[in-house]
A = this chain, B = another copy of it.
Amino acid sequence: MRDRDYLGEFEHIIVLALLRLDDRAYGVTVRQEIELRTDREVSIGAVYATLDRLETKGYVTSHRGDPTPERGGRSKRFFRVTAKGVTAVSRTHRALQNMTEGLGSFGVTYDVATPSR
């Protein structure tokens, strides 16, 4: 993998969730944060699969937390964004910004076509 890659759409969202959650970021909270802030349903498997890939790529790290004293308190796997990860979000973010700037709030200002079907 070239280290110039951009984050995929969902990867992007996930990394942002980690940054927001700071040291409270683990599978379940990540999912919640996304469902809360975007109006989108997320399957937990999707979250873990993506987190694993991000870890493989060196964009995040994970470590086991201690079990908490609650029923079902299995130990959590906490995630954290690496410096490399931050670089990647920034790059992705910047690209999007460069493409967007000057467009106004599209959909209002720009007249559009209708689908053929």
Contacts and interface: CB of A to CB of B under 8 A. Distances in A.
Q: Bin chain A's interface residue count.
A: 35 or more
Interface in A21-43: 22, 34, 37-40
Contact of A96 (B8, B95, B96): B96
A84 interface: yes
Contacts of A94: 38
A25 to B, nearest CB: 11
A47 interface: no
Contacts of A44: none
Nearest to A22: B110
Contacts of A59: 115
Contact of A82 (B58, B86, B115): B115
